[in-house]
Amino acid sequence: MGIGLLMMANGLQGSLLGVRAETEAFDASVIGIIMAGFFAGLLAGSLWTPQAVRIVGHIRVFAAMSAVASVAILLHALLVNEVAWWFIRFITGFCYAGIFVVAESWLNDRAPQETRGQVLALYLAVTFAGMGSGQFLLNLASDSAAELFMLVSVLISLSVVPLLLRATPLPTSEAGRRVTLKRLAAASPLGVFGVFVAGIANGTIFGMGAVYARSVGFTVADTSLFMALLILGAAIVQWPIGKLSDVIDRRKVITGVTAAAAGACLFAAEVTAIDSITTAALIALTGGLSLSIHSLSLAYTNDYLNVDEMVGASSGLVLVLGAGSVCGPIMVGLAIGSFGPRGFFVWLALSHAALAVFAIWRMSRRERIPMADQSPYVPVPLQGTEISTAVAGEVAQEESG
């Protein structure tokens, strides 16, 4: 319940700020930098929070991050300034990471080992539902007023109540075996590059999706629907793609998905209104293919790691994902500024095409591993932290064994 409310707030505020920035006539390249601030904060917070938890405890970190995040969103309405907004977005991302890490630690600690996979799947469904439904709250008031900023603050404040009032033991913090970036890159170059491109897709869609929609003339209602369809597509498409990757060469699946995503992006670049089922399906397919790359690349990376390395690889993979997420909004902001709104989907198409070409090249450099040695596909949240990525590794480890 808490994570659902938090993701609802996250979905609303990302689109709200994109729409408001467009209303304030901020330059597209500047908006990209502002939106990248959230992902930079998310990355920094993901790396800092485990240390803070060991020093002051889960409760204090959770309460402090929630309080600051609740206040930070209100400052956007008071300080309508590009520089101020970047710092506020960074702080918000930093706090969200802290909340996610603590909540996911609790969830992981309380889930029995035999049901951990089901719990992760339910957690994934809740994050999709929360972020998707949050888009429609954009229609409740004008983006130029303060009401929607206040609503985000209320949702964040309410989201922490279920955990703070729940009388459960505190989760234990255990340091797993760390896996360096050098080891990851050597073990699975395609997997690591795939996670980086997944970060680019996540940062581009969630950081600049609403900006794109408004710049091509979408109404606020269509903008909220546009963002919700992207997320809905990811929720639907991930599962069949994952199951397919468990039975055929995963590199072929990565190639096919990214090539199809590139093509879908080029078709979606011509969309100027959501006025038919076909258009809605195209947008959902684009989001589904683009946002499936993370889990697919993570599963492929695990294929080439030792069983005892899957959990320890989480910190390095989160770093790679975060770097891509920061890069995405900045680059798409420059693309929109240089080539107009179509630069949004053209940038996504180029990113996906680059991964498809790299996957084809890697197939010529390495034989596929035997099916018996392939780790199972385990989906992960769209804005995964070290904890959720590690849990995915644990689930894959258990199912492999």
Q: Is 170 within the bounds of a domain? A: no
How far is 201 from 290, CA to CA, in rounded Å? Answer: 6
CATH number, position 386: 1.20.1250.20
Reduced DSSP (H G I as helix, E B as strand, rest coil) percent helix, strand, coil of the chain, to 5? 80, 0, 20
As for how many domains the chain has, the answer is: 1
**pLDDT reported for residue 144:** 82
Average pLDDT estimate for 297-307: 82
Q: Is 62 within the bounds of a domain? A: yes
Q: For 186, phi and psi rounded to 5 degrees?
A: -70, -35
Rg over alpha carbons for the chain, rounded to the nearest Å, is 20
Q: Is 246 within the bounds of a domain? A: yes
Q: Is 171 within the bounds of a domain? A: no
Domain that holds residue 320: 2-165+176-400
Q: Is 393 within the bounds of a domain? A: yes
Is-contact 3 119, C-beta < 8 A? no
Q: How many residues does the chain have?
A: 401
Give 165's pLDDT tier (boundaries 50, 70, 90). confident
Q: What pTM was computed for the model? A: 0.89
- Which is nearest to 79 in space by CA: 69, 67, 89? 89
- pLDDT tens for 183-208 read 888 888 999 999 999 999 999 999 99
- pLDDT tens for 64-88 read 888 999 999 999 988 888 999 999 9
Give 252's pLDDT tier (boundaries 50, 70, 90). very high
* DSSP codes of every residue in 326-359: HHHHHHHHHHHHHH-TTHHHHHHHHHHHHHHHHH
What is the amino acid identity at position 42?
L
Q: Is 57 within the bounds of a domain? A: yes
